[in-house]
Amino acid sequence: MNVQSPNMMTDRPVIRQLDEAAANRIAAGEVVERPASAVKELVENALDAGAARVDVTYAEGGKTLIRVVDDGCGMTAEDLPLALSRHATSKIDGTDLLNIRSFGFRGEALPSLGAVGRLSITSRAMGHEGVQIVVSGGQMAPVRPAALNRGTVVELRDLFFATPARLKFLRSDRAEAQAIGDVVRRLAMASPYAAFTLTDASGGTRREVFRADAEQGDLFDALAGRLSGVLGRDFTANALPIDATCDGLHLSGYAALPTYSRGAAVEQFLFVNGRPVRDKMLIGALRAAYMDFLSRDRHPAAVLFLRCDPQLVDVNVHPAKAEVRFRDPALARGLIVGALRHALAGAGHRASSTVGAATLGAMRPEPAATPSRLYQMERPSGAALRMSYAIQAPADVPGFAEAGLAQAGLELRPGVRAADPLPEAVAHPLGAARAQVHENYIISQTETGIVIVDQHAAHERLVYERLKRQMAEHGIAAQALLIPDIVDLGAAGAARLLELAGDLAALGLVIEPFGGGAVAVRETPAILGPVDSAALLRDMLDELEDVEDSQRLRARIDAILSRMACHGSIRSGRQMRVEEMNALLREMEATPHSGQCNHGRPTYVELKLSDIERLFGRT
């Protein structure tokens, strides 16, 4: 049976010029995907206008109301109709589409919003009267006077009322409200010197969802204050400042310690010239920087700002401006990876403070009984207290300390008094070893508390770093294959990998063209042993397609080194002398990344004495 294709027409199609309303509704489909997209465009316009304060109000997830109030430069009666015309903007003059120094520049947001909703704009510029214009479903009313002190008020009601089909694809009010909150928080991070408020006016009641007051001080102090308010104090307390420059690119921001990782990429915020972006290359660079410190199911937390001359980056890739394209992507990626690894190395043995907080949270002391009333006659005098202490003090009986420690499950090592650590040892960051518990955990005393060290995890990291240093100094040995492996990757895949042949050879993998879409694998890294060349090359190609850079071979070599370190480190269950424990602590203090094991877990937990005393109700 012959079935005619639905795309085939018997009559010649007629080319028509769409009217302005239809063109605006089509543009709205690209620019305004959901209420959060409208909020993003309006807040960015406010920031471009020089606003020092932006107030956002929404109702029913932004479906019935979105209001953005700012104190920016405002607009005049002549500006308002022009602002609602397509491709009208004050951000660029059209001569150079790469020299973009503002959030918006397309001139599509306001006419698109007016085409699919009921939009009103009230504004007042310095030295002019307040004015208002209303547009509903693409129909514009004349400009009229309005009362306003300064700035601009944009109110959007009944979003997508002119295109009801779009309403069916929106999510629940709660999900749309959460998306609006994410947009406002991202823009608040990018502008720490501006104040933001976000209010939910659903159901006729107003509830402030988010507030960020304008920060003061230099850029790093202002950013730290803003991130504390947006992401919480735990992030800034466990994050490292990033400040690096390379060939016209400047990277700044904060990157969290590996032990402050997340189960999903929910705390990864990337900005290019102040613009929030979701770029695969930048996300891949962030992941590569932490590749050696986190397992695959953990994700780093970071807020990074990449600034460069606008000529070096194209932000005109997508209507939503969420993607960018660098003139030299390898330079941007290398800057991120290098700067983050340098900062993590500078952190030394430091681990996140949340590890200790989680440990304290796991300790649940028995509830104390309500104390009975104490009368003055029941209070002993100072002399009586001193006498009772003298009576209760244990006699210096041989074996008393050993017996007490044995009863507690601890062990007193020969030649060391458990109660008297050396003062200079206690002054070290990880303190002086006092005991070993369950033949796996070292108890160390510091000046301000105690440290509990996982001896196997800590030594595993130390051995791993030592192996990496040796490999960096002496290179990666390659083993020549008696019969080269011929792998057919297709013409495009083979060309892609052969471009990286020099980099792969430095890692011990030597490949050559073999004609057509095939490559010949001549040598492989000796440390990997037998290698499935075809699987390895195809995995590398998949990663290149995903993040435009492959760390697959480097990751496999590091995995082998990690496995070697695991087998060559101190095993759980081995008893250690005090000298060995102290030597381990000192090496941890001198070795970068020793605060976490090869899988991203903490190697030690630090508990402050004040927190311990609080557990026992001594505060």
Q: For residue 62, is it within any domain?
A: yes
State whether 173 and 227 are in the same domain: no
Q: For residue 609, is it within any domain?
A: yes
Q: For residue 107, is it within any domain?
A: yes
Residue 156 has pLDDT above 50, yes or no: yes
> Where does the pLDDT of residue 88 fall: very low under 50, low under 70, confident under 90, or very high at 90 and above?
low
Q: Answer for the pair 21, 138: CB distance below 8 angstroms, yes or no.
A: yes
Least confident of 78-87, 101-110, 204-213, 582-591: 101-110
State whether 340 and 443 are in the same domain: no
Q: How far is CA 502 from CA 19, 216, 369, 498, 548, in A?
A: 56, 49, 72, 8, 17
For residue 342, the tally of other CB atoms under 10 A from its CB is: 14
We report the CATH number of the domain holding residue 508 as 3.30.1540.20
Query: What span, in angstroms and rounded, lies between the C-alpha atoms of 611 and 388?
Result: 29
Side chain identity at residue 534, one-letter code: A
We report the CATH number of the domain holding residue 337 as 3.30.230.10
Q: What is the DSSP string of 229-253?
A: HHH-HHHHHTEEEEEEEETTEEEEE
State whether 596 and 500 are in the same domain: yes
What average pLDDT does this structure show over 36-56? 93
Supply the pLDDT for residue 349. 65
Supply the pLDDT for residue 405. 39
State whether 439 and 333 are in the same domain: no
- Count of domains in the chain? 3
Whole-prediction pTM value? 0.70
Query: What span, in angstroms and rounded, lies between the C-alpha atoms of 504 and 527?
Result: 15
State whether 178 and 240 are in the same domain: no
Q: Which residue has the tokens 């011929």?
A: 486
We report the CATH number of the domain holding residue 112 as 3.30.565.10
Instruction: Tell me the residue range of the domain where 565 lies.
Output: 409-619
Supply the pLDDT for residue 4. 58
Query: What span, in angstroms and rounded, lies between the C-alpha atoms of 49 and 51?
Result: 6
- Higher per-residue confidence, 540 vs 585: 585
Q: For residue 10, is it within any domain?
A: no
Query: What residues contact 62, with CB distance under 8 A and at least 6 apart?
Result: 34, 35, 36, 38, 39, 159, 176, 177, 180
Q: For residue 352, is it within any domain?
A: no
Q: Answer for the pair 457, 610: CB distance below 8 angstroms, yes or no.
A: no
Query: What is the per-residue pLDDT across 119-148, written as a single tens digit (0 to 9) for each?
Result: 999 999 999 999 999 999 888 899 999 999
Side chain identity at residue 39, one-letter code: V
> Where does the pLDDT of residue 589 fall: very low under 50, low under 70, confident under 90, or very high at 90 and above?
confident
Query: What residues contact 346, with CB distance under 8 A and at least 6 apart?
Result: 240, 592
Question: What is the layout of strands, in order, in the sheet containing 604-608?
Answer: 432-437, 441-445, 449-454, 604-608
What average pLDDT does this structure show over 525-546? 78
Residue 542 has pLDDT above 70, yes or no: yes
Supply the pLDDT for residue 307. 93
Domain boundary (156, 186, 212) is at 212
State whether 168 and 287 are in the same domain: no
Query: What residues contact 105, with CB distance under 8 A and at least 6 apart?
Result: 89, 91, 92, 316
Supply the pLDDT for residue 224. 93
State whether 237 and 257 are in the same domain: yes
For residue 335, the tally of other CB atoms under 10 A from its CB is: 20
Supply the pLDDT for residue 569. 62
> Where does the pLDDT of residue 417 fall: very low under 50, low under 70, confident under 90, or very high at 90 and above?
very low
What average pLDDT does this structure show over 63-92? 85
Query: What span, in angstroms and rounded, lies between the C-alpha atoms of 564 and 562?
Result: 5
Q: What is the DSSP string of 590-601?
A: HSTTTTB-TTS-
Q: Which residues pair with 443 in a beta bridge?
A: 435, 452
Q: How far is CA 271 from CA 43, 225, 236, 305, 549, in A?
A: 16, 18, 18, 5, 20
Average pLDDT, the chain: 79
Enclosing H/E stretch for 55: strand 53-59
> Where does the pLDDT of residue 537 fall: very low under 50, low under 70, confident under 90, or very high at 90 and above?
confident
Side chain identity at residue 281, one-letter code: M
Q: Answer for the pair 301, 345: CB distance below 8 angstroms, yes or no.
A: no
Q: How far is CA 517 from CA 121, 385, 487, 513, 535, in A?
A: 59, 90, 8, 8, 16
Q: For residue 378, is it within any domain?
A: no
State whether 67 and 151 are in the same domain: yes
Q: For residue 447, is it within any domain?
A: yes
> Where does the pLDDT of residue 552 fall: very low under 50, low under 70, confident under 90, or very high at 90 and above?
low
State whether 311 and 331 are in the same domain: yes
State whether 183 and 241 are in the same domain: no
- Higher per-residue confidence, 411 vs 421: 421
Domain boundary (295, 327, 347) is at 347
Q: What is the chain's percent helix, strand, coil content, to nearest 5? A: 40, 20, 40
Question: Strands 268-272 and 275-277, how do they pair?
Answer: antiparallel
Domain boundary (309, 332, 347) is at 347
CA proximity to 201, closest of 55, 34, 60, 37: 60
What average pLDDT does this structure show over 157-164? 86
Least confident of 86-90, 311-315, 450-454: 86-90
Query: What span, in angstroms and rounded, lies between the C-alpha atoms of 427 and 448?
Result: 9
State whether 150 and 236 are in the same domain: no
Residue 104 has pLDDT above 80, yes or no: no
Q: Answer for the pair 552, 508: CB distance below 8 angstroms, yes or no.
A: no
Q: For residue 372, is it within any domain?
A: no
State whether 471 and 491 are in the same domain: yes
